[in-house]
Amino acid sequence: MRGVLSAIAFGLLCQAAIASPVIGVSWPGDTARQWKVDSETIRSAVSAASGAVIETDARLSAAKQILDVKSLIDAHVDVLVVAAVDPRALETSIQMAVAAGIPVIGYDRPIGLDGVFSIGFNQADVGRLQALALYAARPRGDWVLLKGDFDDPQTARLYAGQIAVLKDSISAGLIRIAGEAYTPGGLSLNARRAFGNILDATRNSVDAVLTPDDASAGEAISVLEERGLVEKVAVVGQGGDPETLNRIARGQQTATIWEDHEALARKTADVALLLAYGHSPRELGVARPLDDGQGTTYELHLQPFTITVDALDLALTAGWIDADRLCRDVPAGRIADCP
């Protein structure tokens, strides 16, 4: 009889957990990536499903994020969402969560571990769109390739997408790589230093710059402004934050690859709730065997969009930016979106 009562009690507890799922979210703390909007969207979606969200902020520290993830595991969250500062540094912590039976979602940056579900934007696709946008503006000349952190797998994906588009033009001598450099730690200030060094080495002979993100694009544009070159050099980044969209409206940046983080957050909340309700990752995403053959990861990719001066209305319509912020310091009549 005691066993029957225990089974009934256990069943009731499981029903309660399913009815009120708790989603743990570990944020990296980089305000430049608009995590505040992502957080609000996830909390709203989970709350609408009568769930709760526990959040931590790693403050850009991989060491702190390891402790944050452990605290969320100890809190017995039903699903763990991680926007990793350094996915490799978190491997042991993520494996602990999986071993504890907690489904894990790699948010925005994939976590290549067995059983982990990652949701974000395919960086190979982003790199391809970046290269196409910059090629449309500067189909020949001296290009600079600024990359992300050497140890970040996303850097290789982005570069592969870029080179797939550019390799024939490079081979034909239409595009010459004036310089390329990694960005240690993925920090935009390191991109600024690297770009400044390349400009010094080439005596400012640069026509186009591909950057790993819009923060780095902004730093490159700042250097170009200091040297009186901002109107002569085409720059493309990725992310689509409001400051970048304003730079595009002002004619300082050629394009960005816009990643709709509100849509990303909504999709992540949906998947997190389904995982909390007992659905398996295999039901929800595309299975990919790991490179080492030791398991399977799952990745769901959202569609990125190219934003040029002629496509700023996409961001306005989506509510990612309002007209006042978009049109700040834009000369009257320069673009249709800023009368």
pLDDT tens readout for residues 36-49: 889 999 999 999 99
Q: How many helices (H) and strands (E) does the chain have?
A: 13, 13
The percent of residues above 90 in pLDDT, for the chain, comes to 74
Long-range Cβ pairs for the range 187-195 (8 Å, 24+): 188/32, 188/213, 188/215, 188/216, 188/218, 188/219, 189/219, 191/146, 191/215, 191/216, 191/219, 191/220, 192/216, 192/219, 192/220, 192/222, 192/223, 194/146, 195/144, 195/146, 195/219, 195/220, 195/223
Sheet holding 255-258, edge to edge: 175-181, 141-146, 208-210, 234-239, 255-258, 305-307
Q: Cα–Cα distance between 216 and 180 in angstroms, integer?
A: 13
Instruction: Phi first, then psi: give them for residue 317, nearest 5 degrees.
Output: -65, -35
The percent of residues above 70 in pLDDT, for the chain, comes to 93
Q: Where are the alpha helices (DSSP H) in the chain?
A: 2-19, 35-48, 62-74, 91-99, 123-137, 153-171, 188-202, 214-226, 242-250, 261-276, 281-284, 312-318, 323-326
Mean pLDDT rounded to a whole number for the chain: 90
Helix, coil or strand: residue 47: helix
- Band (pLDDT 50/70/90 cuts) for residue 33 is low
Contact by Cβ (8 Å): 121, 301: yes
Mean pLDDT of 306-315: 92
Residue 80 has a pLDDT of: 98
**Span 59-92, pLDDT tens digits:** 989 999 999 999 999 999 999 999 998 888 999 9
Residue 213 has a pLDDT of: 94
